[in-house]
Amino acid sequence: MTTSTGTGTGPRALARQRRRASVARFWRQYRAERAGLYGLAVLALCALLALFAPLFVGSDVSSVTDAPGRPMQSPSAEFPLGTDQFGRDLLGLVIWGSRVSLLVGLLAAVLSVAIGTLIGVTAGHFKGWYATVMMRVTDWFLVMPTLVLAIALATVMSRSLTTTVIAIGVTTWPTTARLVRAQTLAVETRPYIERAKALGGGHWHIMSRHVLPNVMPLVLAQTTLIISSAILAEATLAFLGLGDPTVVSWGGLLQDAREAGAVSAGDWWYLVPPGIAIAVVALAFTLCGRAVEAVLNPRLGVSR
């Protein structure tokens, strides 16, 4: 791609121009989706909060030996959301926890979508036995109870963030694979692909230059939707005690709260904020995903 920057009017530059135009068109249509914009705004805020968390809460917020408060204090001016069972500031922990929760959600979704796209594109491109086998595998994964499988995987491996990412990624890819394959099949019937083939374009060329760019919007929508469920899944696994106990995440905070007996003690301030954080971020990603879907496929009429 970099070689073509100078030529200006070459076919690649044209393609890039076209792509830029379609991104602009996409954004114009996306802007019309109000719910999607709200979602995006919330996400931007969360991302900023997570990125700059070290600036205003500091990594020592998770230190237990230097905890500033008494254990399980209710909200006060000093600790707006109260303290946890070590006397750590819960507001700080919720902000700090966003880093792990968002990271795991993103990575798991990327892994899931990457697997799904790889299998979907290849299964759509190479027909024959390869496609048959791959689609059988996909169908089979599709009927697997996701949560049960994820719990099983998390048990099989040692407790760490990587485990969580893998457990979620490996269990949620099949829908993406099926969608991408359908799209790939549709794209490959277009005349210009025939032409590319006739001109001697190899499999790799066709898949990477023609198919992939065309399935990218779908993949984008899919990613946003999967991040939402991945964040929920991370919380679920952490809540079931299958997460890494030494890192602070939203699901882990809920698990801590439950283990400390916050539920029967009625210490709602310990339970409510992490749950709301999870719900808000998951909802924001879902709204964005639906907005993207609506732009790509107006007939669905999901949000209007």
Partner 1 sequence: MTADATPALVEDRQTAAGPRVRERSAYPRYLAGKVAGAAVSLLAVLVTSFFLFRLIPGDPVKTMTGGRQVSAEQLAAYREEFGLDLPLWRQFTDYSGKALTGDFGTSYQFRAPVVDKITEALPNTLLLTGTAFVLYTALGIFLGTRSAWRRGGLGDRVNTGLALTLYSIPSFWLGLLLIIVLSVGIGPLPGLFPTGGMESGGEEGFAYVLDVAHHLVLPVVTLVAVEYGQTLLVTRSALLDEMGSDYLTTARAKGLRDDLVRRRHAVPNALLPTVTLIFINLGRTVAGVILVETVFSWPGLGGLFYQALSVPDLPLVQGLFFVFAAAVILMNTLADLVYPLLDPRVAR
Partner 2 sequence: MGTNDQTRSLPRGLRLVAAAGAAALTLTAGLATPLDPAPRQARAADDGKKVLTVAVAQSVDSLSPFLAVRLLSTSIHRLMYEYLTNYDPKDNHAIPGLATKWESSPDKLTWTYTIRSNSKWSDGEQATAEDAAWTFNKMMTDSGAATANGSYVGNFRKVTAPSPTRLVIELKKPQATMTALDVPIVPKHVWEKVSDFSEFNNDKSFPVVGNGPFVLTGYKPDSYVRLKANESFWRGAPKFDELVFRYYKDQDAAVSALRKGEVSFVAGSPSLTPAQAESLEGAENVKVNDAPGRRFYALATNPGAKAKNGEKFGDGHPSLLDRRVRHALFMAVDREAIIDKVFRGHAVEGEGYIPPRFSQYFWKPSTSQKLAYDPAKAAELLDRAGYRKNGDGKRVGKDGKPITYRVLCHATDPNDKAVGKYLQEWWGDLGIGVRLECLDNVTDPWLAGKYDLAFDGWSVNPDPDFVLSIHTCGALPATPKDTGATDNFICDKQYDELYARQLAEYDPAKRADIVKRMESRLYDLGYMNVMAYPNAVEAYRTDQIKSITTMPAKAGNIYGQDGYWSWWSAVPADAGGSSDNASSTGVVVGIVAGVVILGGLGVFAAMRRRATAEDRE
Using CB under 8 A, list all residues that contact partner 2. 63-65, 67, 71-72, 85-87, 155, 158-159, 241, 245-246, 256, 258-267
Q: Residue 272 touches which of partner 2, partner 1, none (CB < 5 to 8 A by kind)?
A: partner 1
Q: Residue 235 touches which of partner 1, partner 2, none (CB < 5 to 8 A by kind)?
A: partner 1
Write the Ramachandran bin of 10: left for phi over 0, alpha for psi from -120 to 50, otherwise beta: beta
Nearest to 35 by CA among 226, 283, 277, 228: 283
72 versus 281: smaller Cβ distance to partner 2: 72
Q: Residue 289 touches which of partner 1, partner 2, none (CB < 5 to 8 A by kind)?
A: partner 1
Q: Residue 87 touches which of partner 1, partner 2, none (CB < 5 to 8 A by kind)?
A: partner 2
- DSSP states of the chain as a string? -GGGGTTSSSHHHHHHHHHHHHHHHHHHHHHT-HHHHHHHHHHHHHHHHHHTHHHHT-GGGG-STT--S-TTPPP-SSSTT-B-TTS-BHHHHHHHHHHHHHHHHHHHHHHHHHHHHHHHHHHHHS-HHHHHHHHHHHHHHHHS-HHHHHHHHHHHS-SSHHHHHHHHHHHH-HHHHHHHHHHHHHHHTSHHHHHHHHTT--HHHIIIIIIHHHHHHHHHHHHHHHHHHHHHHHHHHHHTT-S-TTS--HHHHHHHHHHTTHHHHT-HHHHHHHHHHHHHHHHHHHHHHHHHHHHH-GGG----
Q: Between residue 225 and residue 284, which ones bind partner 1 under the rule CB under 8 A?
A: 225-226, 228-230, 232-233, 235-236, 239-240, 251, 254, 258, 263-264, 266, 268, 271-272, 274-275, 278-280, 282-283
Q: Residue 176 touches which of partner 1, partner 2, none (CB < 5 to 8 A by kind)?
A: partner 1
3 versus 264: smaller Cβ distance to partner 2: 264
Angle between helices 128-143 and 174-188 (to 10 degrees): 150
Q: Residue 259 touches which of partner 2, partner 1, none (CB < 5 to 8 A by kind)?
A: partner 2
What residue type is 48 in one-letter code?
L
146 scored as a contact of partner 1 (CB under 8 A): yes
x/- site string to partner 1, residues 178 to 217, per CB under 8 A?
xx--x-----------------------------------
| Residue 91 beta carbon to partner 1: minimum distance, rounded to whole angstroms | 18
129 scored as a contact of partner 1 (CB under 8 A): no
Distance (Å, rounded) from C-alpha 254 to C-alpha 264?
14
Q: Residue 43 touches which of partner 1, partner 2, none (CB < 5 to 8 A by kind)?
A: none
| Residue 264 beta carbon to partner 2: minimum distance, rounded to whole angstroms | 4
Distance (Å, rounded) from C-alpha 76 to C-alpha 15?
58
Judged by CB under 8 A, how many residues of this single chain contact partner 1? 63
| Residue 299 beta carbon to partner 1: minimum distance, rounded to whole angstroms | 7
Residues that bind partner 1 (CB under 8 A): 35, 139-140, 142-148, 150-152, 155-156, 168, 171-172, 174-176, 178-179, 182, 222, 225-226, 228-230, 232-233, 235-236, 239-240, 251, 254, 258, 263-264, 266, 268, 271-272, 274-275, 278-280, 282-283, 286-287, 289-290, 293, 299-304
